[in-house]
Structure 1
Amino acid sequence: MNLEAYLKRLNYKGATSASPDTLYKLHRAHVTSVPFENLDIHYKQWIELDSEKFYTKVVEQRRGGFCYELNGLLYEALQELGFQVYFISCSVYIQPLQKFGPYFAHVAIVVEDGKDQWLVDVGFGSSFPEPLKMEFGVIQKQDGVTYTLRKMNDTEISLDRSFDEGGTFEPMYKFTLVPRQLEDFQEMCAFHQTSEASPLYQKKLCSVATPNGRITLTSNHLIITKDGQRNEVEIKDEQDFQDKLFTYFAFDLPLQSKG
């Protein structure tokens, strides 16, 4: 990895010491600069668990990616900066079904410095903007959203969030603190690219946080949220989708969709 080029891609100009302050600022820079997107799945470009390919796509091609790509690349950068890191397997909460999906469907990162741990995740889509300190039952507020980590049993931890000042919480995902290797996620990476049961396979998605909201483009809608105000525009066809993809994300993908 060319660390300087990676940090430039993130528009990050801060300190590079392995400190909590660097971690927080780097995390926020990532989620506001690199979109979460699943477009390769829909344009028939196979995604491999290969950090060199992650780098080419995100840094050199100025694209985004989904969890394995974005967190996989951040993991490499954090290691180079001197952070102690490891991957963890997550089971995402499927809101329409009111249940958790399979483990390894999502990857996140744990950063530790001997006495403290942080949950780091720039690859969830609507991810938290800054790392969450690994403290249970503690309210952590970021940009109007309330987060808390809850012990479910002896091994599993639930990350819950609330959009109404902590009045109602719903799980985002659950995880264990068992260290994993990136190759452990190979089966689920293939699942997301081939199975109609995967939400990532069902529709195109490109989303990035902004300093005062979020821009999200799906197969059917462009949604721009700014200062709490939501504006939604319908996508007319594939050409309209690609035009807006270029306008709002500077992606130029004249490829054929899988339909």
Structure 2
Amino acid sequence: MNKRCRRATRVAVLQPLVTGTISLQGPRHERRVADGQAVAVGRLERTQLGTMDIEAYFERIGYQKSSNKLDLQTLTEILQHQIRAIPFENLNIHCGKTMELSLEDTFHQIVRKKRGGWCLQVNHILYWALTMIGFEATMLGGRVYVPSACKYSNTMIHLLLQVTISGKTYIVDSAFPFSCQLWEPLELTSGKDQPQVPAIFHLTEENGTWYLEQTKRQEYVPNQEFIDSNFLEKNTHRKIYSFTLEPRTIEDFQSISTYYQVSPSVMTNTSLCSLHTQDGVHGLMGTILAYKKFNYKDNIDLVEFKILKEEEIEEVLKRVFGIHLETKLVPKCGNVLFTI
């Protein structure tokens, strides 16, 4: 066990920062900062925007602006509304369709058709929304930890965001499956435990590379048939992904997006869907439906499993995940990378 895996649990409280106001003024948006200066951020050309509407996005995630301030509270509220409304899912691959990366295609899929997407889509739409209202956001690229190989992926396969508020930097991620999903922005601080509802998250920096890890609770599984399931995380401490602070664009992920859709990978081997609630997370892996309720009892999470018949999946997708598929899903459950 390396030094990142040996640490005591400490309680850290995130203090909201108040700064700036939201301003929507056509294709160029400004963030008014504390000293009164206007900084242009999120400048998107009209050809990119097309008919995309930030209010339609807010309606999609059920967010009614409680504040017009560009502060940590607003950022947290938008993140939490998104992870409870927009699923992480790769179902297009298993419906014979392509996962498109363009902003217009992503908006059409997620907002207009009320679907979800994988990180390259879901965090892309979040990046667009944050910059549209004036947040200072940057795309970053991550390498996901592969437990079976005991190493991080060889290539950058995960999109996450860096958001700066009044000089303080946070990591924001709305698109990692199941209980590895952040519920709040993480302070970009090395060596600090940051407790959230799903788990205690921890960032460590070494030679310019940042590592995200978590310490989870014990789990109670009523259905003993699943006590040894590969979808249960056996370790209390787990590595999630690594990343650097080098700015990225969506084009940087195009080749890996194509590869993961046509080559043997976790995305082609397993059909996935994950959606968070007020107290837990739903997961669908192939024909296995799971629900984890966080902190069901003191320091214990409840994890329930059910094997679905193939004809039940369409109804479950509609009822649990809010997804209506236009073509038939071929559920698949292969190599396990993500655990509930």
- What's 2:238 paired with? 170
Aligned amino acid, residue 225 of structure 1: K
Say whether the 8 Å CA contact 1:109–1:119 is kept in structure 2: yes
- 2: distance between equivalents of 1:235 and 1:195? 27
- CA offset at residue 124 of structure 1? 1.2
- CA offset at residue 254 of structure 1? 4.7
Say whether the 8 Å CA contact 2:213–2:238 is kept in structure 1: yes
TM-score calculated relative to the size of structure 2: 0.71
Change (3 A) 1:12 1:250: same
Unaligned runs of 5+ in 2: 1-51, 219-234, 333-340
Identity percentage of aligned residues: 28
Say whether the 8 Å CA contact 1:89–1:103 is kept in structure 2: no
Out of 155, 159, 163, the residue aligned to residue 107 of structure 1 is 159
Aligned amino acid, residue 140 of structure 1: Q
Aligned amino acid, residue 306 of structure 2: V
Aligned CA RMSD, in angstroms, stands at: 1.7
Out of 101, 110, 119, the residue aligned to residue 171 of structure 2 is 119
How do 1:1-259 residues align onto structure 2 when only pairs under 5 Å count?
1-13=52-64, 14-126=66-178, 127-152=181-206, 154-164=207-217, 168-196=236-264, 198-226=265-293, 227=296, 228-237=301-310, 239-257=311-329
TM-score calculated relative to the size of structure 1: 0.93
Change (3 A) 1:121 1:144: closer
- CA offset at residue 250 of structure 1? 2.7
Which SS does the other structure have where 1:55 is aligned? helix
Unaligned runs of 5+ in 1: none
- 2: distance between equivalents of 1:144 and 1:55? 28
Aligned amino acid, residue 56 of structure 2: A
- 2: distance between equivalents of 1:78 and 1:138? 26
- 2: distance between equivalents of 1:256 and 1:223? 22
Post-superposition Cα deviations, 1:90-146, rounded to whole Å, max 9, x if no partner, equal 000012222111332111010113521010110111311111110110110000400
- 1: distance between equivalents of 2:304 and 2:119? 26
Aligned amino acid, residue 323 of structure 2: F
Which SS does the other structure have where 1:47 is aligned? coil
- 2: distance between equivalents of 1:102 and 1:29? 32
Post-superposition Cα deviations, 1:139-198, rounded to whole Å, max 9, x if no partner, equal 10000400110013x221100111049x953210000000011100001111221111x2
Change (3 A) 1:168 1:232: closer
Which SS does the other structure have where 2:80 is aligned? helix
Post-superposition Cα deviations, 1:37-93, rounded to whole Å, max 9, x if no partner, equal 000111121122211111111111111110011010010110011111111110000
- 2: distance between equivalents of 1:94 and 1:144? 20
Structure 1 stretches of at least 4 aligned residues deviating more than 4 Å after TM superposition: none
Say whether the 8 Å CA contact 1:136–1:151 is kept in structure 2: yes
Aligned amino acid, residue 260 of structure 2: H
Say whether the 8 Å CA contact 1:157–1:175 is kept in structure 2: yes
Say whether the 8 Å CA contact 1:149–1:158 is kept in structure 2: yes
Say whether the 8 Å CA contact 1:83–1:111 is kept in structure 2: yes
Aligned amino acid, residue 8 of structure 1: E
Change (3 A) 1:2 1:121: same
- 2: distance between equivalents of 1:101 and 1:235? 31
Aligned amino acid, residue 57 of structure 1: Q
- 1: distance between equivalents of 2:246 and 2:140? 6
